[in-house]
Structure 1
Amino acid sequence: MSLLFQPVQVATGSSDSESRLVFDDGFLVAILVQLCAQRGDQAGRWFLEAGFGRVEHANPPTFADLDVAQDWIERQLASAEDV
């Protein structure tokens, strides 16, 4: 599995502006947003703004960095193959 992370600006209505569209095999599977300094101890972490299909989550997680986010997304997508 090879995920593609595309930098993008997302109008979240806050100062969180660093974002990534995440594609798997040409399909958009997630939107990640990096949390800004106004988020206190969460600043710099990446938030699952939106997940699609197997990456959708009722309580969207945050990740220490994009590598951790990638690992989590890959696990979510791999669980679809197990069904």
Structure 2
Amino acid sequence: MNLRLQPVQVATGSDDGESRLVFHESFLVAVLVQLSDEHGPEAGKWFLEAGFGRVDDPNAPTFADLDEAQAWIVGQLA
């Protein structure tokens, strides 16, 4: 299953770093945000800012890196 990640800036209200829109088959399925230093020990990890359809999760997970985030998204879509 192929995902396409597109860099984007997201107005999260904090000083978070990079963000990615995640597409599967031309559908937007998730928005990932890399957590900034203000998140303490979570800094540098990736957070599911928003998930759509099967990727929606009321307990939004945090991931060590983009590979882990993509693997989780693929699992949700399978």
Q: Which is greater in Rg? A: 1
Letter of the 1:43 partner, please give it. A
Tell me the matched-pair count: 78
- Any idea what the Cα deviations from partners look like across 1:23-77, whole Å, max 9, x if unmatched? 0000000000000011000000000000000000010000000000000000000
The one-letter amino acid paired with 1:21 is L
Q: Percent of pairs identical after alignment?
A: 69
Q: Normalising to structure 2: TM-score of the pair?
A: 0.98
Q: Distance in 2 between matches of 1:64 and 1:29?
A: 19
Gaps of 5+ in 2: none
- Give 3-state SS (helix, strand or coil) of 2:8's partner: strand
Aligned-pair Cα RMSD in Å: 0.5
Matched, 1:60 2:64: no
| Structure 1 unaligned blocks of 5 or more | 79-83
Counterpart residue number, 1:33: 33
1:69 maps to what in 2?
Answer: 69
Instruction: Work out the CA distance in 2 between the residues paired with 1:50 and 1:17.
Output: 16
Structure 2 counterparts to residues 1-40 of structure 1, below 5 A: 1-40=1-40
Runs of 4 or more above 4 Å deviation? none
Distance 2:38 2:75 in 1: 30
TM-score, normalised relative to structure 1: 0.93
